[in-house]
Each structure stands twice: as structure tokens, then as C-alpha cells.
């Protein structure tokens, strides 16, 4: 690959606020709110399905949907890798094992690889899980790039980046929630290393807030409001550092999030639900287990022994329950399962795909603090906390603001777009060619697009998926019970 055209910028700086909902910026994050007025704000930007961090991270990192990159969920079963439990994509050891046993875990070319192929560099300051730090640039060492992980040297392929930070700033921060200490540490690493004399062409900082506090301190709580303000102050400091630096006039700044969150109002025992239909589901293989499942706001059901009739039985059992919002089936099975939608509609058709994917039922009604969006869950944080992973509008809508030469200041765009478009846009801004990514550059093609609905029903179960399309690409707007 080679550079194409004249670069619009020399540097790109990306700040990710994990879990931030765009409808919660106003009145809580004044600097980010003001930044929107000097950027193009893609107000209808969307996550991927499932709307969980490691799937979203890999879609951001590759410019591709899960059906191309192969990270199907935060946890998913692959017997070639582990027979005792699902692969935990938050665990770097699991990722290393999967890399070895699958002959490569991520099945799409990444932003990092494309930058390296064009002689460009990338540095990441990552404060999420060690697995997400691994996925944000999965060939980081081979690319000659670096990733700092707040979880230490064992959580990154470039441990020297962690040693450099601890030499300069002292021990890694603690894990107290809200993560004020982590935010402060991340800011120092970003400003003094990533934006220092050896600034890479692309610098990324992935902040763990407000996601962590949404999960464990509730979405609208005072503690969450305080940590959102702290994350906002970190962003303000980073932007100020860019503006003081030598590349100020030739730097693009991108503010983003990977998904939103909604409030958990109830817990559902999925194995018990399926046992009513005489199906035995387990989180690990065991005698008598028919189905392997993963929990959350959505999850997989994977047959221990392939049997289309059993898949149809399990799907039918799910559809009979009010707690279930949506049911998807692998494309080769969907036509034989009344009421199911094919996984390809949510860009989840991969050789690793499970037979079934379920989504818990959610709505847009206000929670106990007046924040819209509620769900039941089959695993995760306690009731009252926040969750994501489904197709609720408030889970799917993400923050995406781009300030760069040629991007209209103060424009609020309603054009369909999403996480898969960020990497192609970064490469376009830098004048770098790419031909592998499924997303598009957001420097052009900002028309309203078209809306399409896909619906199906079986008995009293009915579901609908809304997608928006532009330039031959379809984005997942929202979905749920009809």
C-alpha cells in the first residue's frame, strides 16, 4: 500500500470515552459539548452488534464488522481453543491461546497493520481490559508500534511502553471505582509520551469511564456525574496539549465512544428459562448439556452436537418468553426457524458464528433516575447498574466528533455511520490507501441515506430490526420486540 493524494493532516489524536451516550453529554461534560461546536458531530453514529467493548474495539481497529474480523462477543465458545469454558476476550492469555490454536484470532486487516505498511506509526494508551488493549492493534509489536496497558506489562505485546510510563510516573493506578486515578494516569501518559517528542502518526487514549461507573455506580448517580466531569477534564487537557504542540495546525482530533448503556431492571436465569422446555444450557460443556451459552444483555447459544431440530426447539423456547427481545439464527439455519432473523443482517456471519444469538428485552422508558433505556439481563452487573450488548437505541448510539481540516465546524450530521468508519477516515485524513475495510471515509458521503426494516414473527413473538444504508453500506440503527 502507498500514500494516495495529499494528506489533510500529519497527526491524528483519538480519545475514546468507553460507554458514553451522546444524549448524556449536555450539562455533564462542558468541554466535550463545546468541542462539538468546532467539529463535525455525527449524531446518529452507531455501534456494532453485540454492542460490547471487545467487539466494538475490533470493529474500530479494523474498520470491519464482526462477520469479517471474527471477534463475535466479549466471550464466545470455540472448542478448538478451550473445551472448559468460553474464550474470555478480556483476558490476554485467552487471546494468545486463541491466536495460536486458530492460526490467527482477528481475521481482518487492522488500522495498525495498514499504517505500518505505509510507514506510519501508532501508539495507544489503553485503560480498559488487557484483552481490549491487545485487540486495538493486534499486531502491535510486528507493526513496530506500541500499546500501553493500565493492567501492566503482561497485558500488552509491548511491555516497554508500560515500563516507560512507570519509570516516569510511578506505579500503575489502583482499580477503585469510579476510576479517577486511572483517568489522571492516562492523561499523563497521553500528554507526556504519546504527544511528546516522538509522537506517533496516530495516538489513541481509551478511557474506562463512564463505562465502569455506569456498570457499578448506576448511570445517573452523583458518582457517575463526577467521573464524567473528570473524563471531560482529561479530554480538555489533551486537546490543550495538542494545541500547544508543534503539529497543532496539522492534527485531526476525534472524540468517540464504543457503545452506550441502559439500566438493568431485572435478572433472568437463562438456563432455567430453557429448562422449562427440557433443554439444558450451560456455560461450559458437561454431561447432559445440550447448549453452550454466554450471558449478558445478549449472548450466544451454541449446540454441543449440531442438530437443526434442536436449534429450532431452542429458538422456539426463547420466543415464548417475554424476557427475550430478539432471536437471530445462523444463515444456513434461519429459513428453517420461524420467527428468527439471519445473523448476516447484523453483520455476524462468520465461520465461528453460533447457531443462535439472543437479545434480552429492553425498552426506552425512563429508569428510576429518569434516564431513558431499560433492560433485563442474563448476567453482568447488579440490578440497577448499567448494561449494553443489545440493539436498544441508547446502547447503539455512540459519540463521534471529528475536528480536522475540511470537516465542517459545528455541523451536526444525521448521515448513517458507525465505528467501522473511523479507521477509513483516519487513513483518508493521512493520505493513506486502504482496500480491506468495510467502512467508509466520513470526509464525504454525508447524505441522509435510506432506512429499511426487517421484521419477522412466530406466534405471539414479533421482532423488528432497523438499518440505515448509504454508499452500499448498512448500519444497525436499533432493534427489539415489535
Q: Is the pTM of this model over 0.95?
A: yes
Q: Are residues 231 and 312 in the same domain?
A: no
List the grid coordinates of 215: 456498570
Query: Does 457 fall in a domain?
Result: yes
Owning domain of residue 347: 264-365+453-481
Residue 373 lies in a domain: no
Residue 219 sits at φ, ψ, to 5 deg, of: -65, -45
Looking at the domain assignment, is residue 445 inside a domain? Answer: no
Neighbours of 478 (CB within 10 A): 20
Q: Report the CATH number that the domain containing residue 400 is assigned in CATH.
A: 3.40.720.10
Shared-domain flag, residues 273 and 200: no
- 126 with 271, same domain: the answer is no
User: Crossing angle, helix 222-244 and helix 180-189, to 10 degrees?
Assistant: 10
Cα(110)–Cα(123) distance, rounded to whole angstroms? 14
Residue 372 domain-assigned (yes or no): no
Same domain, 74 and 201: yes
Q: How many CB atoms lie within 10 A of CB 331?
A: 14
Task: Kindly state whether residues 81 and 186 are assigned to the same domain.
Answer: yes
In 426-445, which positions are buried (b, 16+ CB within 10 angstroms) versus exposed (e)? bbbbbbbebebbbbbbbbeb
**Is residue 355 domain-resident?**
yes
C-alpha 115/C-alpha 325 separation (Å) is 40
Query: What backbone torsions phi and psi does residue 266 show, to the nearest 5 degrees?
Result: -170, 155
In a domain, 383, yes or no: no
Residue pair 457/482 in contact (Cβ under 8 Å)? The answer is: yes
User: Residue 157: its pLDDT value, please?
Assistant: 98
Instruction: Give the full edge-to-edge strand order of the sheet including 386-387.
Output: 362-366, 372-377, 262-267, 386-387
Per-residue pLDDT, 2: 32
How many C-beta atoms lie closer than 10 Å to residue 244's C-beta? 10
Same-domain check for residues 95 and 185: yes
Same domain, 254 and 353: no
* Same domain membership, residue 56 and residue 22: yes
Same domain as 240, residue 105 = yes
pLDDT tens for each residue of the chain, 482 residues long: 334 568 999 999 999 999 999 999 999 999 999 999 999 999 999 999 999 999 999 999 999 999 999 999 999 999 999 999 999 999 999 999 999 999 999 999 999 999 999 999 999 999 999 999 999 999 999 999 999 999 999 999 999 999 999 999 999 999 999 999 999 999 999 999 999 999 999 999 999 999 999 999 999 999 999 999 999 999 999 999 999 999 999 999 999 999 999 999 999 999 999 999 999 999 999 999 999 999 999 999 999 999 999 999 999 999 999 999 999 999 999 999 999 999 999 999 999 999 999 999 999 999 999 999 999 999 999 999 999 999 999 999 999 999 999 999 999 999 999 999 999 999 999 999 999 999 999 999 899 999 999 999 999 999 999 999 999 999 999 999 99
DSSP string for 443-478: TS-----EEEEEEEEETTEEEEEEEEEETTEEEEEE
Shared domain for 470 and 322, answered yes or no, is yes
Alpha-carbon distance values, 23 to 45, 48, 106, 236, 240 (Å): 12, 18, 32, 19, 25
Q: How many residues does the chain have?
A: 482
Q: Are residues 224 and 196 both part of a single domain? A: yes
Residues 68, 43 within the same domain: yes
* Rounded Cα gap, residues 186 and 205, in angstroms: 7
Q: What is the dihedral of CA 282, 284, 285, 286, to 10 degrees?
A: -70
Residue 304: inside a domain = yes
In-domain check, residue 434? no
Q: Residue 445's pLDDT is what?
A: 86
* Number of folded domains that form the chain: 2
**In terms of Cα–Cα distance, which of 29, 45, 32 is closest to 398?**
45
Amino acid at each position: 500500500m502507498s500514500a494516495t493524494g495529499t494528506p489533510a493532516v500529519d497527526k491524528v489524536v483519538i480519545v475514546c470515552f468507553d460507554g458514553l451516550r451522546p444524549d448524556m453529554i449536555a450539562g455533564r461534560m462542558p468541554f466535550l459539548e463545546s468541542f462539538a461546536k468546532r467539529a463535525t458531530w455525527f449524531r446518529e453514529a452507531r455501534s456494532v452488534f453485540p454492542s460490547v467493548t471487545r467487539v466494538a474495539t475490533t470493529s474500530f481497529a479494523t474498520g470491519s464488522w464482526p462477520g469479517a474480523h471474527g471477534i463475535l462477543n466479549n466471550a464466545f465458545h470455540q472448542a478448538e481453543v478451550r473445551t472448559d469454558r468460553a474464550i474470555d476476550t478480556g483476558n490476554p492469555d485467552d487471546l494468545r491461546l486463541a491466536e495460536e490454536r486458530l492460526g490467527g484470532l482477528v481475521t481482518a486487516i487492522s488500522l495498525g497493520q495498514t499504517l505500518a505498511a505505509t510507514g506510519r506509526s501508532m501508539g495507544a494508551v489503553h485503560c480498559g481490559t488487557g484483552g481490549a488493549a491487545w485487540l486495538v492493534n493486534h499486531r502491535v509489536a510486528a507493526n513496530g508500534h506500541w500499546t500501553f496497558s493500565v493492567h501492566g506489562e503482561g497485558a500488552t505485546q509491548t511491555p516497554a511502553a508500560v515500563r516507560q510510563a512507570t519509570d516516569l510516573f510511578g506505579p500503575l493506578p489502583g482499580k477503585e471505582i469510579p476510576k479517577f486515578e486511572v483517568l489522571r494516569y492516562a492523561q499523563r501518559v497521553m500528554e507526556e509520551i504519546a504527544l511528546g517528542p516522538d509522537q506517533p502518526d496516530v495516538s489513541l487514549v481509551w478511557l474506562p469511564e463512564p463505562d465502569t461507573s455506569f456498570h457499578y455506580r448506576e448511570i445517573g448517580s452523583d458518582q457517575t456525574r463526577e467521573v464524567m466531569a473528570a473524563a471531560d477534564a482529561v479530554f480538555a487537557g489533551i486537546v490543550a496539549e495538542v494545541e500547544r504542540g508543534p503539529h497543532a495546525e496539522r492534527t485531526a482530533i476525534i472524540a468517540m465512544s464504543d457503545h452506550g448503556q441502559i439500566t438493568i431492571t431485572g435478572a433472568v436465569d437463562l438456563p432455567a428459562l430453557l429448562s422449562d422446555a427440557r433443554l439444558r444450557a450451560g456455560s461450559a460443556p458437561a454431561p447432559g448439556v445440550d447448549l453452550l451459552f454466554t450471558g449478558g444483555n445478549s449472548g450466544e447459544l451454541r449446540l454441543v452436537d449440531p442438530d437443526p431440530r434442536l436449534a429450532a426447539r431452542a429458538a422456539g423456547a426463547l420466543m415464548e418468553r417475554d424476557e427475550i427481545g430478539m432471536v437471530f439464527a445462523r444463515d444456513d439455519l434461519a429459513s428453517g426457524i420461524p420467527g428468527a432473523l439471519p445473523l448476516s443482517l447484523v453483520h455476524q456471519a462468520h465461520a465461528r458464528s453460533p447457531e443462535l444469538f439472543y437479545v434480552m428485552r429492553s425498552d426506552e422508558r425512563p429508569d428510576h433516575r429518569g434516564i431513558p433505556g431499560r433492560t433485563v439481563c442474563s448476567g453482568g452487573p447488579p440490578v440497577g447498574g448499567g448494561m449494553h450488548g443489545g440493539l436498544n437505541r441508547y446502547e447503539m448510539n455512540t459519540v463521534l466528533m471529528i475536528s480536522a481540516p475540511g470537516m465542517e465546524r459545528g455541523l451536526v450530521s444525521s448521515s448513517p455511520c458507525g465505528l467501522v468508519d473511523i479507521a477509513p477516515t483516519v487513513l483518508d485524513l493521512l493520505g493513506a490507501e486502504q482496500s480491506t475495510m468495510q467502512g467508509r471515509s466520513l470526509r464525504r458521503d454525508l447524505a441522509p441515506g435510506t432506512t429499511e426494516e426487517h421484521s419477522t414473527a412466530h406466534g405471539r413473538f414479533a421482532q423488528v430490526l432497523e438499518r440505515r444504508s448509504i454508499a452500499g453500506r448498512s448500519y444497525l440503527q436499533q432493534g427489539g420486540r415489535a
